[in-house]
Amino acid sequence: MASQNSIAEQTAIVSQIGDLAQAGEKMIERLRRKAFLPESRKGLNVRFGIAEAAQLLNCSTNRIRMAEEDGRLPPPPAGENGRRLGYTVEQMLHMREVLGASPSRKPMDEPAIIAVQNFKGGVGKSTVTTHLAHYFAVQGYRVLVVDCDSQATTTTLFGFNPHFNITREETLYPYLSIDPTQTDLLYAVKPTPWPNVDLIPSNLELFDVEYELAASGADGQSVLVARFRKLKQGLKDLARNYDVVILDPPPALGTISLAVMQAANALLVPLAATTPDFCSTVQFLSMMDQVLAQLVEAGIPVDYSFVRLICSKFDANDPSHTMVRAIMEQSFGPALLPVPILESAEISHAAMRMMTVYELEKPIGTSRTHKRSKANLDEALSQIAQLVTQGWGRVEPANEEDLLRG
């Protein structure tokens, strides 16, 4: 029978793990600095040509040119070769205001607060969260992303190093802790390179909330209920300034996950097209069914405008993916969104640069791969945008050029 490790050996093991963590954090910071030179800050340099701008604004190119000619809109700057450089995201937002093409919700419309959740890791939860946020941003919506996961992958994808750039006081912790120092969530909101996307970041110290609530003793249940209601109210108050709030909770059943699930008014479940992911998602749904029922019995309301599953990392050339997706369709029916997010090297390459496909100035791989990936993301994520606008009682408007042809 093997003897237990001595205290010295245990100390050495702990020290080794700490050294590995430090080495990894330093490498993340090196990658971040390399990606965001010269100022080590993430920027946004993506531009839209007039044809793409017209498509996004749901109008004709002639209408944009006429607005530029009569002075309502400034033309985009020209490069050294005299060609127009295209419109920035900020210019696109201004164009929407001038041309009456803003999709912002009406004052009486309830902001969409979408939890992107699955207890199975590796399903692309944070990748879906960031791409969904940037898709909504391109469409002109005001977006808030709340990273509720202490692993902070979403925070990293937004260009922040959670170890070096984010303190515990900048996360949800001061608001949710046993001894809170903040009464609302405004303190935690950070701007991002996208003018219409804000972020509440996370880091490893957010997990202290779980420890504190677990150690709250006999009063634990009442403290837990209070935290659930507090997060919901805080997000509801903050959401007044946005059209869409996207929550990225931890991939496990814990205090923060439950608080997020109760605070949301819509649920999006990403899952990959593999048998283990399918089985894990079924277990997640079964667990959520039991937990949400208990929350309702405890007087904690849960109300979702929609619950949808989206297949992520789907490889149409892999027969096993096709088979598992067919199983998903048979099992989940219309709750499974019909267009999956395809596995793409362009998504992986962008993530290496702590970006999404929507932030790339030019293709990283081939132009064909980039176009195919972006077109798929547009189609897949538009399904979620349609659910949001349907909740506001809207129907998709016809394109101006289609009306003319009609």
Say if residue 76 is in the same domain as residue 224. Answer: no
Say if residue 172 is in the same domain as residue 289. Answer: yes
- What pLDDT is attached to residue 291? 82
pLDDT exceeds 50 at position 39:
no
Using DSSP, state whether 89 is helix, strand or coil.
Answer: helix
Instruction: Provide mean pLDDT across the span 95-124.
Output: 90
Across all residues in the chain, what is the average pLDDT?
Answer: 86
- What pLDDT is attached to residue 38? 40
The Cα–Cα gap between 198 and 236 comes to: 15
Q: Containing domain of residue 195, as a range? A: 112-405
Instruction: Provide mean pLDDT across the span 152-178.
Output: 91
The residue among 143 and 84 whose pLDDT is bigger is 143
Percent of the chain beyond pLDDT 70? 85
- What pLDDT is attached to residue 35? 59
Residue 11 counted as domain residue: no
Say if residue 147 is in the same domain as residue 292. Answer: yes
The residue among 77 and 316 whose pLDDT is bigger is 316
pLDDT bucket at 290, cuts 50 / 70 / 90: confident
pLDDT exceeds 90 at position 384:
yes
Domain boundary (64, 99, 134) is at 99
Say if residue 141 is in the same domain as residue 287. Answer: yes
Of the candidates 328, 335, 280, the one whose C-alpha atom is nearest the C-alpha of residue 119 is: 280
CATH number of the domain bearing residue 303: 3.40.50.300
Instruction: Provide mean pLDDT across the span 139-163.
Output: 93
Domain boundary (99, 129, 160) is at 99
> Which amino acid is it at 385?
A
How many domains does the chain fold into?
2
pLDDT bucket at 79, cuts 50 / 70 / 90: confident
Residue 33 counted as domain residue: no
Say if residue 227 is in the same domain as residue 349. Answer: yes
Using DSSP, state whether 149 is helix, strand or coil.
Answer: coil
pLDDT bucket at 403, cuts 50 / 70 / 90: very low
pLDDT exceeds 90 at position 18:
no
